Amino acid sequence: MSAAVESLTGLPSVSEVARQDNDPFRVLVATMISLRTKDAVTSAASERLFSAAATPRALASLSEKKIETLIYPAGFYRTKARSLRKTAQALLSKHHGKVPRTMEELLALPGVGRKTANLVLNLGYGIPGICVDTHVHRISNRMGWVKTKDPAGTEKALMEVLPRRYWISINELLVRFGQTICAPVSPRCSICPNASWCPKVNVARSR
């Protein structure tokens, strides 16, 4: 699967940010911007924001309006600007300006859910965990690896069936795979390297 996906697309935007310097703060900010936003928009918005505020203290010093301007047209940019500023303030007041490295502490930050927290732990600190977004949830169920109703259930189920050494890489792999081949609507089954054992394809062929 990885070779086929590699030939069709680059890295997800947050992975690109992480590859630059593995800075947990940059990963946190880029992930918060990325929610419901296309990769190209996320990358450009993140770079504009980092050029103006590369640290929690610098970000906290910006007005919400300024942050809005810098990250626009990211989806829900006003809400994200407010969360980004509050998160930067929380990092300064509660964590000495450092991004925490536990799930519980990350989830206590404004605007941070399990997907964001897991990506920070994975890409910022190299701590194993399974980040489940819409692609991971959809594909792991479509492939028959798990049978779950929501991302939280998928995360738990995958942790039971997926070897720990793949926990960090599965998100990046399935995001790319979902963007290029296993799309939500009209998946490109004819070029899928997993078509021979995919339940969806086999059911279609049996009709």
The residues spanned by each domain of the chain are: 9-125, 132-206
If you average pLDDT over residues 131-151, what whole number do you get?
Answer: 96
DSSP 190: G
- Confidence category of residue 200, pLDDT binned at 50, 70, 90: confident
CA dihedral over 161, 164, 166, 172, signed as positive or negative:
positive
If you average pLDDT over residues 95-100, what whole number do you get?
Answer: 98
- Considering the candidates 21, 65, 115, 150, report the single residue annotated as catalytic: 115
pLDDT for the residue numbered 4? 44
Domains 9-125 and 132-206 share a fold: no
- Confidence category of residue 135, pLDDT binned at 50, 70, 90: very high
pLDDT for the residue numbered 204? 57
Burial 32-63 (b: 16+ CB within 10 A, else e): bbbbebebebbbbbbebbbeebebbeebbebe
- Confidence category of residue 2, pLDDT binned at 50, 70, 90: very low
| Burial (CB count within 10 angstroms: exposed 0-12, middle 13-18, buried 19+), residue 117 | buried
- Considering the candidates 80, 133, 147, 149, report the single residue annotated as catalytic: 133
pTM of the predicted protein model: 0.89
Burial 2-29 (b: 16+ CB within 10 A, else e): eeebeeeeeebbbbebbeeeebbbbbbb
Note the maximum CA span of the chain: 61
CATH classification for the domain delimited by 132-206, as one of 2.40.128.20, 1.10.1670.10, 1.10.8.620, 3.40.800.20: 1.10.1670.10
- How far from 128 is each of 22, 148, 160, 169, 195, CA to CA, in Å? 15, 21, 14, 9, 29
Residue 66 falls in the annotated catalytic set: no
Query: Using an 8 Å Cβ cutoff, are 70 and 58 in contact?
Result: no
Query: Using an 8 Å Cβ cutoff, are 179 and 9 in contact?
Result: yes
Neighbours of 175 (CB within 10 A): 24
Q: What is the CATH number of domain 9-125?
A: 1.10.340.30
Q: Cis omega before residue 199 (within 30°)? A: no
If you average pLDDT over residues 125-148, what whole number do you get?
Answer: 96
Residue 21 falls in the annotated catalytic set: no
- Confidence category of residue 16, pLDDT binned at 50, 70, 90: confident
